[in-house]
Amino acid sequence: MEEEKKIEDHSEENSYIRIKKFKFIMLIFLLVFSTAGITLAALSFGDEKAATVAIQERKEFSKLYEAFDMLDEKYFEKVDHKKLIDGAISGMVKALDDPYSDYMTKEENEKFQESIAASFQGIGAEIQEQNGDIVVVSPIKGSPAEKAGIKPNDKIITVDDKNIQGMTANEAVLLIRGEKGTNVTLGIQRPENPEMIKMTITRDDIPINTVYAEMLDNGVAKIQITTFSKHTYDDLAVALKEMQSKGMKSLIVDLRRNPGGLLDQAIEIANLFVPEGKNIVQVEYRDGTVEKTVAQSGKKIDVPTVVLIDKGSASASEILAGAVSETSNIPLIGEKSFGKGTVQTANDFNDGSNVKYTMAKWLTPNGNWIHKKGIEPNYKVSLPEYANVSYIDPDKKLHESSASNDVKSAEEMLNALGYKPGKIDGFYDSETEKAVKEFQNAEKLKKDGILTGETTIKLMNKLSEHIQKNDPQVKKAIEVLTKSKK
């Protein structure tokens, strides 16, 4: 009754304004509380019969309403109510300080879904937000990102000269992805090099193959799984059959630079190695409830096996690596994995916006949580230093008397390939020029001693081939398999 008296004390126009404002506030209640599981009775206004409003009082929201009213009434320009609400929800999600939780407005969600539909075109790199930075988890095998020299743990500082620090991973993805044939220039910073590197990458079709098999010497089959997508298990089954037909006696499963993907695919593949009845993975919820996924009967791989992992092996890769290591004594070789031990889900709102959040954590068969820790390999083997040499922009011209980090990278590459560039100090002297000419001569390129364009691209490609051919992690895997047969 007190509220009715207050309304009567004002003019008809002011009464209308107050009722309209009350309706809007109730709309906010509906938007906020409907997602929190609070029941609201229907409202009616004007000539309609009023309904009883049953609202559970939430004192912690009074500050939110006060801030909204203050901005709505006193900000020097008219505010957009929708933007304020979107900003409030986005702020709540960001306050979780979880790189795997994110909020997208209707417009952002629509753009993101469009980019997912066209995700087979772009640069091909898995990224995530870490402490305000956009960090590469891993490039996809055969993608433009991998060919350009993008590496795990690279920080992307700029996209086409726009600083993206502070952006969410989804916001960054929308800037980086694009149509085949278009270019994007990334400003990259590496842990070992504070100087930002500019990389211009031509977007292309992203390889959809996720399984690559080859037969090495002495019946050793090597199968690389680059990500876990819809058809990965089926593709692996085909690859295994092919390797068996070629006399497979032992197996290397390569999960290096595999950023993860679909959980069900990782579980199906793990079932090939984990004995029936043993845990593959456990999922633990906030109330302490644990769901266990147990290996079923069926086809099992019975040849000696090892698994390769590195800092780019994340999420579903770690589920597979942890499962086979703890249940089947399959050795892990390489470097400590990335360390993502959480499970996400997404919720769509009626207005088309979307929130993704972490809803559980996953544990290894023995109950270990590897989040932010990673999985340690049984045999720690690092790639040689030259495998981490920085990318060189092919558009730059490096010649005698040049001095830069790019020159140092070139010297390290030449030295790794057996050429002699002299002192590796970042200064392009006569010995460096001589080494470049020798390289150009060997590759049938223009012999001018200048490092640019085709010469630069060829040099980086040759180094990549050299790393693969002389891969110490694969060599260690073969050594371990050889010993296991004796």
Query: How far apart (Å, rounded) are the C-alpha atoms in residues 188 and 165?
Result: 12
**The pLDDT value given to residue 114:** 63
CB 435: neighbour CB atoms within 10 A? 23
Largest interatomic CA distance in the chain? 97
Query: How far apart (Å, rounded) are the C-alpha atoms in residues 223 and 236?
Result: 8
In this structure, are residues 141 and 257 in contact, taking their beta carbons and an 8 Å threshold? yes
In this structure, are residues 185 and 206 in contact, taking their beta carbons and an 8 Å threshold? no
Within 8 A by CB and 6+ apart from 179, the residues are 118, 121, 203
Place of tokens 């906020």: 32
Please give the distance of CA 340 from its chain centroid, rounded to a whole number.
10
- What is the DSSP annotation of 179-246? -TT-EEEEEEEETTEEEEEEEEEE-EEPP---EEEEE-GGGEEEEEE--B-TTHHHHHHHHHHHHHHT
Within 8 A by CB and 6+ apart from 57, the residues are none
CATH number, position 451: 1.10.101.10
Per 3-state DSSP, the chain is made up of helix, strand and coil in percentages (nearest 5) of 40, 20, 40
**Do 54 and 194 share a domain, yes or no?**
no
Alpha helix (H) residue ranges in 332-418 = 405-416
Residue 482 falls inside a structural domain: no
**The pLDDT value given to residue 351:** 92
Among residues 205, 233, 253, the one where a domain terminates is 205
Residue 398 falls inside a structural domain: yes
**Do 162 and 138 share a domain, yes or no?**
yes
Query: How far apart (Å, rounded) are the C-alpha atoms in residues 136 and 127?
Result: 4
Query: How far apart (Å, rounded) are the C-alpha atoms in residues 236 and 474?
Result: 19
Residue numbers of the domain that contains 64: 2-79
- Catalytic residue list: 315, 326, 340
Query: How far apart (Å, rounded) are the C-alpha atoms in residues 414 and 436?
Result: 8
Instruction: Report the domain count for the chain.
Output: 4
**Do 193 and 215 share a domain, yes or no?**
no
Query: How far apart (Å, rounded) are the C-alpha atoms in residues 128 and 115?
Result: 16
* pLDDT by position in tens, the chain (length 486): 333 333 333 333 333 333 334 333 333 333 333 333 333 333 333 344 444 444 456 788 899 999 999 999 999 999 999 999 999 999 999 999 998 999 999 888 887 776 555 456 789 888 888 888 899 988 888 889 988 889 888 999 999 999 999 888 888 888 998 888 999 999 999 877 778 888 899 999 887 788 999 999 999 999 999 989 888 999 999 999 999 999 999 999 999 999 898 889 999 999 999 999 999 999 999 999 999 999 999 999 999 999 999 999 999 999 999 999 999 999 999 999 999 999 999 899 999 999 999 999 999 999 999 999 999 999 999 999 898 888 888 888 999 999 998 999 999 999 999 999 999 999 999 999 999 999 999 999 999 999 999 999 999 989 989 998 999 999 999 999 998 866
**Do 304 and 424 share a domain, yes or no?**
no
- Which residues are 429's β-sheet partners? none
In this structure, are residues 358 and 100 in contact, taking their beta carbons and an 8 Å threshold? yes
**Do 74 and 215 share a domain, yes or no?**
no
